[in-house]
Chain A
């Protein structure tokens, strides 16, 4: 992110030399509490997970050092990689769709060409406030082909919509829909807030040039949105890799369609709490974490380069 290249603002020397030395360590006093908890919450579990991933604890035989055996297993584990491909597919399809819709919504709301703008702004944001558990439960009911929305649509339009919860092909788009529904508002808000900060002078200049609305969007709004789009995309990518709650909540009513290794996170969860394979689960978590960080970093570099920062 361009964030880091900003660094600290330039200082004048001389008069500040002495106070700066005094302040040198004060910063630690402020960042200290956060870092302490950070160490405990983030660093320690990662270190412990790495430690765990080097061992194997069996029902017969107990706990033994296993070196990199878990990693070799993970790298050749078809279930892990199928789950991984699935989240990548999910990412490639769902994230652009969701972001495009959010972008469109933000632009529409910002355009001041809507009647009752605050109503739209609020109602599109509301799904974000719903816990994903409740969201998945609601959509699970709606998808049910006997007593849900799908069945009503079937009888009104005399069609037979696919039984989404039992279908291996349709379950991923169905989950994609739930995630989109949950996060459109959040992303729209990021974009909308970014649009609010565009200085008025730019619009005045566009007025003078008699620019059409499309030109305004293309030349003023979208460039101003680039950083926000970058952030939203990175978070969506990270979120897609983490996909867990929706498959987990839907699992009891869509067991065959979802399966125990649907996403890498769900696989890691089942390994731990169904299979008691904590060491291997830690390995999967680490491999997944590394992949996510790498992808996020690569993406950030690409977007940084594109922004010409």
Chain B
């Protein structure tokens, strides 16, 4: 075979030259990708420009997973009959972001509008994938939302998206199970752990909650514990504090749950998870205010059993919460219908869209609705008629300030299972794993050209 191998190698070289020639002909020699430190600058357009565009015949594609969006789209199309909206559910959160990045790289199939959670927005903005909304006349809208929300949608000084909902965290618990096993509704985390021990000891197929390691949950819990591991100093500079006290506080508390096997190991959002929520095998959920609609749709068996209470804290008598999730909608760069897309985003993020969201169990970002009595008086049957929005509103008010995400949080979250996830399955120290995660994220940031200071 040696003779043929030599011949083969020679032939391969020849073929390679041919191929390179072919590639050159297709024009691949130019290294054309560039990236700015912020979203591409928007063209100036006034609200009348947008209004005019909405009157013309056009079609836009929107990628979103929020269940209420179907009705929001229907209302939008009713108001602007010349616009057709193609609503696509391209997956939730990371799943959609992967597809979005894929489409952006391919330069084809990018939607006009995409639902992007607050923590993910900076990464898309920095890579120049979203259209800046500066100059569209939306700046005045920022005051209609909480200042934290306004900060979340502004990346490096540019308004990049408009908000839909927020996710202040609260404690969702199954009152039927609590009564059955004589558990008290916890106000501190130590009480929560005690409840967990009691519940699991009484019935080994019952768990206080399920957690297989979720980066959104870990960062939100760190947030609530007062942690501030990430600081963004300008467009290209990030500080990551691997010895963050809040991280340690939460991790140490949560270690007790993990080591004693008090956490159900059911993958979140799976069919098993919803079934266990419905039948009470998972007794609580510490999650964002957007959860009610999901419980009502997918865990129907628990109808009437669930209630909402403020999130437990580390010190008795204090109130503290954090954000978990919460989405904004951005116009993607390269959209051929940017004005119409901007008009849709505006519709969704202001009274018309937000009211629909609120009516269907969502937790809108618009403060006027948040404070309205009709919103606060909602008493869904799923929660036994409790006025859950009152609890959720006070949770929103107690969200601790000063938190930042890393500008490459989407990627960091995708490698979370490699360090912290493994700690969960091996039942080892969560804090050490979190530190390893911070370090790995820092390495990625440095590799991507950021100036990362690790403390």
Contacts and interface: CB of A to CB of B under 8 A. Distances in A.
- Are A and B in contact, CB atoms below 8 Å, in the complex? yes
Nearest to A259: B418
Interface string A253-271: 1111111110000000010
Range, interface on chain B: 35 or more
A270 B422 contact: no
A5 interface: yes
Interface string A168-191: 100000000000000000000000
A63 interface: yes
Interface in A230-260: 252-260
Nearest to B422: A256
B212 interface: yes
Interface in B411-441: 411, 414-415, 417-418, 421-422, 424-426
A114 interface: no
Contacts of A133: none
Nearest to B425: A256
B272 A47 contact: no
A48 interface: yes
B9 to A, nearest CB: 13
B119 to A, nearest CB: 15
Contacts of B411: 274-276
A106 B71 CA distance: 58
A17 interface: no
B19 A62 contact: no
Contacts of A257: 425
B450 interface: yes
Contact of A47 (B23, B37, B407, B417): B23
A256 B417 contact: yes
Interface stretch (A53-61, A85-93, A96-104, A115-123): A53-61
Nearest to A35: B15
Nearest to B15: A43
A260 B422 contact: no
Interface in B1-51: 1, 4, 15-16, 18-20, 22-23, 28, 31-35, 37
B448 A59 contact: yes
B444 A166 contact: no
Interface in A35-66: 39-40, 43-44, 47-48, 51, 55, 57-64
B325 to A, nearest CB: 18
A276 B127 contact: yes
A146 B449 contact: no
A4 B424 contact: no
Contact of A147 (B35, B236, B275, B414): B275
B221 to A, nearest CB: 17
Contacts of A252: 267, 270
A39 B448 contact: no
Interface string A130-169: 0000000000000010110000000000000001011110
B23 A48 contact: yes
B147 interface: no
A273 interface: yes
Interface in B371-427: 407-408, 410-411, 414-415, 417-418, 421-422, 424-426
Most chain A CB inside 10 Å of its own CB: which residue of B94, B236, B275, B449 = B449
A278 interface: yes
A79 interface: yes
Interface stretch (B76-84, B97-105, B223-231, B285-293): B97-105
B280 to A, nearest CB: 14
B33 A276 contact: no
A147 B272 contact: yes
Contact of B31 (A59, A63, A146, A270): A63
B88 to A, nearest CB: 18
A165 B421 CA distance: 13
A55 B32 CA distance: 12
B24 to A, nearest CB: 11
A62 B415 contact: no
B140 interface: no
Contacts of A48: 23, 28
Q: What are the 3 tightest A-B residue pairs by CB atom distance, in nearest-first order?
A: A60-B449, A256-B421, A58-B449
Given A79-B418, A165-B267, A273-B102, 9 more contacts: A57-B35, A63-B34, A163-B265, A254-B267, A255-B267, A256-B212, A256-B422, A260-B415, A274-B101
8 contacts: A5-B1, A51-B28, A58-B449, A59-B35, A60-B448, A166-B212, A270-B414, A274-B101
Interface of A: 4-5, 39-40, 43-44, 47-48, 51, 55, 57-64, 79, 144, 146-147, 163, 165-168, 252-261, 270, 273-278, 301
